[in-house]
């Protein structure tokens, strides 16, 4: 699936400035136009742009007044602003920053500088949105790992999944934006969230439909939920598991499958993705030793993201691998177990 273009609202009373900005930006962004601060506020009643380019000196309502009213009326929207002006004085620049501006651009516009500043601001917005999604996902899964199935419901999971998909579909560089949000330390709640996010990002590169991305997000955030029912001394063991312990750990995929059903999730694609996320293409996986394309597509995606996150986080028995070393291992040592296209797509994202 192709990412949607970000939307930029241009607020300027000069038609020539609007035309110039629109000509520069239209190839890369959806453009909304307001020829006054009042018109800009009307647009914000029905639309939430990703960024506002705001002229300072306008009649009736200048840019500073517009910013004040926007923050007062639409405080929940938190839309970033770049002020634009012909004023080169320090006072105007400082006042813009005090009004919450992300940046300040001087007229006449240099197209290259304009694009760089806009990309920089939008990337910060992407990172902030991913961070919020990651934090919210962690809250849900920490609640589950403390309180079990009765402590959460499938509605909150679907709300989270749909919000995540919206963020990813708008993101220009989703993996680069989200990886700084992830910690290097491993814990089961955050691992589920990270695998869900990574899986949807990888799924986007495979042109999966929205409903498939939703299935990926739900199966990802629940794929290791069954580990909540394993003894902590097994999960945190510093040495290799003995055969009996390993057999217990292998049961977590079936338990995760049951957790999903207990939460009221009965969609076969989600349940099978969870159940088979530890299957390997060569038939050495579990629980059913499926081979090749007997393994569901969504399970193969989860497997790649599951292993990537496991390798790049600190475990009780080893430090984390670098992204480069983790991908190298997946590409060489595990090439007979993982879908090569999916690994290559993950590499391309980085």
Query: Contact, 137 vs 221, CB < 8 A?
Result: yes
Query: Contact, 264 vs 154, CB < 8 A?
Result: yes
Structure confidence at residue 273 (pLDDT): 99
How many CB atoms are located within 10 Å of the residue 27 CB? 7
Residue 89 reports pLDDT greater than 70: no
- CATH superfamily, domain 7-109, is Response regulator (3.40.50.2300)
Residue 1 reports pLDDT greater than 80: no
Distance from chain centroid for Cα 126: 8
**Residue range 288-307, pLDDT digits in tens:** 999 999 999 999 999 999 99
The overall average pLDDT reported for the chain is 92
pTM of the entire predicted model: 0.87
Let me know if the fold of 7-109 is the same as that of 126-349. no
Structure confidence at residue 263 (pLDDT): 98
**Residue range 222-261, pLDDT digits in tens:** 999 999 999 989 988 888 899 999 999 999 999 999 999 9
Residues 6+ apart with CB under 8 A from 231: 248
Residue 293, CB-side half-sphere exposure with 13 Å CA sphere: 0
For the ranges 4-8, 166-170, 270-274, the lowest mean pLDDT is seen at: 4-8
Query: Is-cis flag, bond preceding 108, omega within 30?
Result: yes
**Residue range 126-142, pLDDT digits in tens:** 999 999 999 999 999 99
Domain ranges of the chain: 7-109, 126-349
**Which one, of 319, 277, 323, 318, lies nearest residue 300 by Cα?**
277
Structure confidence at residue 3 (pLDDT): 52
Q: Which of 1.10.1040.10, 1.10.3720.10, 1.10.3210.10, 3.20.20.140 is the CATH number of 126-349? A: 1.10.3210.10
Whats the size of the chain, residue-wise?
Answer: 350
- Give the model's confidence band at 90: pLDDT under 50 very low, under 70 low, under 90 confident, else very high: low
**Residue range 26-38, pLDDT digits in tens:** 999 999 999 999 9
Structure confidence at residue 82 (pLDDT): 92
Question: What are the tokens at 66?
Answer: 């517009």
CA 350 to CA 344: how far, in whole Å?
10
Residue 91 reports pLDDT greater than 80: no
């Amino acid at each position: 699936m192709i990412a949607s273009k970000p939307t930029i609202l241009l607020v300027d009373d000069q038609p020539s400035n609007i035309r110039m900005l629109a000509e520069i930006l239209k190839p890369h962004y959806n453009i909304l136009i307001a020829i006054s601060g009042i018109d800009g506020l009307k647009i914000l009643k029905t639309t939430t742009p990703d960024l506002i380019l705001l002229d300072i000196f306008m009649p009736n309502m200048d840019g500073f007044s517009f910013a004040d009213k926007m923050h007062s009326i639409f405080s929940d929207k938190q839309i970033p602003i770049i002020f634009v002006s012909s004023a080169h004085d320090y006072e105007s620049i400082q006042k813009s920053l005090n009004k919450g501006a992300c940046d300040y651009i001087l007229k006449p516009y240099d197209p290259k500088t304009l694009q760089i500043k806009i990309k920089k601001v939008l990337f910060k917005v992407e990172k902030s949105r991913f961070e919020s999604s990651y934090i919210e996902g962690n809250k849900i899964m920490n609640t589950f790992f403390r309180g079990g199935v009765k402590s959460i419901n499938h509605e909150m999971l679907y709300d989270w999944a749909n919000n995540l998909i919206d963020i990813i579909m708008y993101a220009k560089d989703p993996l680069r934006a989200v990886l700084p949000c992830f910690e290097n330390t491993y814990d089961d709640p955050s691992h589920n969230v990270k695998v869900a996010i990574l899986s949807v990002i990888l799924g986007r590169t495979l042109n999966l439909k929205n409903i498939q991305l939703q299935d990926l997000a739900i199966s990802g955030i629940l794929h290791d939920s069954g580990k909540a029912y394993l003894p902590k001394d097994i999960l945190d063991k510093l040495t290799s598991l003995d055969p009996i312990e390993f057999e217990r750990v292998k049961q977590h995929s079936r338990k995760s499958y049951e957790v999903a059903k207990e939460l009221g999730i009965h969609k076969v694609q989600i349940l099978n993705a969870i159940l088979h996320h530890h299957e390997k293409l060569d038939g050495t996986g579990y629980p059913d030793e499926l081979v090749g394309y007997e393994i569901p597509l969504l399970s193969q995606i989860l497997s790649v993201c599951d292993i990537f996150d496991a390798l790049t986080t600190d475990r009780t028995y080893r430090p984390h691998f670098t992204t480069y070393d983790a991908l190298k291992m997946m590409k060489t040592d595990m090439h007979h177990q993982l879908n090569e296209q999916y690994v290559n797509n993950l590499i391309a994202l980085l």
